[in-house]
Amino acid sequence: MAHDVADMMSSLFQAQGEGVATIMGKMMPAAGATEAEKMVHWAQVAGRMQSIWTDFQVEQIGQAAAPNSHLSDPVRWIATVEAVLRQLPLADPDVQAGLWNEVLDLIGTVMGQYGLGPRASEQSAGDDPALPLADRRFADPRWRRQPVFALLHQVYLLLSRQVTALAESVEGMEPGKKAQLIFATNILLDALSPANFPLTNPVALDKAGETQGDSLVRGFEHLVSDLRKRQLTHTAPGAFVIGENIATTPGKVILETPLYQLIQYTPTTDKVLKTPLLIFPPWINRFYILDLNAKKSFVRWAVEQGVSVFMVSWKSADATLADVTWDDYIQAQMDCIDTVCTRLAVPATHTIGYCVAGTTLAATLAVMARKGTADKVASATFFTAQVDFEEAGDLKNFIDDQQIDAIGRLATDGYIDGRYMAATFNILRGNDLIWSTVQKNYLLGEAYPAFDLLHWNGDVTNLPARWHRDYLRDLYRDNRMVVPDSLQACGEPIDLRRIHTPCYIQAGREDHIAPTHSVWKLTRYLQGPWTFLLAGSGHIAGVVNPPSSDKYGYWTNDDAPRSLAEFQSGAVAHPGSWWPHWIGWIRSLDAQTMPARGKRRPGGRGDRVIEDAPGRYVATR
């Protein structure tokens, strides 16, 4: 066995040497250059990168150091790796023997595809051999053209699967801690992919050769730029300007408080539904996820359906909001409901709560029920919102006493920098939102795309630290919202069982932030009529799915299912967007219309407004 392995590895390195010589040949300056000229060229490339780094270091001198997160502190990364590995049975001789045997077997299989070793095939594999393990991160043919790169990523994939299985098989661990272990293991394995490092990524090496090193310099410039602003860049800087080519639906800011602005959008139809719509977006993101552009905008579409639409634009937290708590957001929702009803002289308004604002909307409805004012809400629609956090998805892996204390230490002047929260959400989809950026923009030096959704994803908002701590502790950790009267707000105990308002509950089939089964649980606490709809895709695309896109589809069940399994077993699939289904539900509650005049058109004669939509708050960091 040892002799076979030695022969195989010897043949491997010989073949790889030829491949590396080819790659390095591409990295040389123009044909005919002398050795001295080649050395000078690459010295200049290295010098440019050194100059970029030196300039960055000079800039950092004297600047206040930001609290280190795992993304920027290598010591903490190493500590995390050690902590994870200590919990896995990697020291077990039987486990080690099993891993070694599987690796050797894989090496023999892979090398055989290249005509090397005892399993060498008589047929040449050519440039695209058939390898046993596949992953989209290694789809480029260059991962298979050279045996070392093929072996490198194949062994990585094998070990990743085996280490993940070891984490999943750990016994005697509290379920929450085991979930954290599995989650941390997957994060670390994703980070250690050979695709994330320039010398082990053949695509990056090839690009460096084709560009004579320019891709390395551009990628290094991207890296340093992100270090400078302490945030990953996902889209072309300057490609989007709020109010010009994003968040452009016409309207007026009709009310401003220290916590939010209230926007009323201008109608585009002669008649509108008598009952207006008030939207509460999550304050951990900018509201214009629902108004990205004319084709994707839920706001614009709803206006075109003849709905009088109001939108809350939350202020990104600063020191003035240090003492804000959940009560303040609940009171803000009730105040906005009163404002809309009074402004349009209507008894009630429809409402929408997205994500955390939907969680808060449920609390608001419970408080209003206690106060005897619940009839001011004609309906409540919940976009991917949770109230029962027992199975709250991957985010729950960040929620324990240690994590809550760590987040508290990140607070500055009573608020948490939104970049830390953005990093957390990016980790939940690390390969899509972190490592693909590392590969494309750092290793390959590619230009950033002009993508509105990615721009929104990076447009972070700061959070009041006190509120955020209470939210994580009381809801995510202790799950108190579903315990009647365990929490209170605005002087009233919260009991979700008091909600009789008609509710429309939308969940995303692939949502990793608010999983379908967790969103479904809201139905178990409502006393009034409710409709549950399962949309294709996830937390964002499952919501922002306009009819013009004709994507994803959705599922409904009109048979009053008593469980999610019952809903799914009898669900009817529908193609395209679910938005028309929702507006049909809204009209079924009250189809009465009225002329779109007077204060239905904000900013008209005698109507004092503050400024044009989208307002100032959405543009402030």
CA–CA separation, 189 vs 545, rounded Å?
33
What are the residues facing 535 on neighbouring strands? 508, 554
176: tokens are 């929450």
C-beta of residue 177 within 8 angstroms of C-beta of residue 199: no
What single string gives the DSSP state of each residue in 11-34? HHHHHHHHHHHHHHHHTS-STT--
Active site residue 341: no
In this structure, is the dihedral angle defined by the CA atoms of residues 231, 236, 237 and 238, taken in order, positive or negative?
negative
Give yes or no for a cis peptide into 141 (omega within 30° of 0): no
Across the chain, which distance is largest between two alpha carbons, in Å?
Answer: 92
**Residue that has been written with the tokens 């608010």 in this structure:** 514
What secondary structure letter does DSSP report for 444? S
Name the pairing type of β-strands 554-556 and 530-535: antiparallel
- Residue among 344, 370, 318 at smallest CA distance from 495: 370
Give me the numbers of helices (H) and strands (E) for the chain, helices first please.
21, 17
First to last CA, the chain: 62
Q: Helix/strand/coil (H, E, C) string of 179-241?
A: HHHHHHHHHHHHHCCHHHCHHHCHHHHHHHHHCCCHHHHHHHHHHHHHHHHCCCCCCCCCCCC
Q: Spot the catalytic one: 336, 341, 355, 503.
A: 355
- Residues labelled as active-site residues: 355
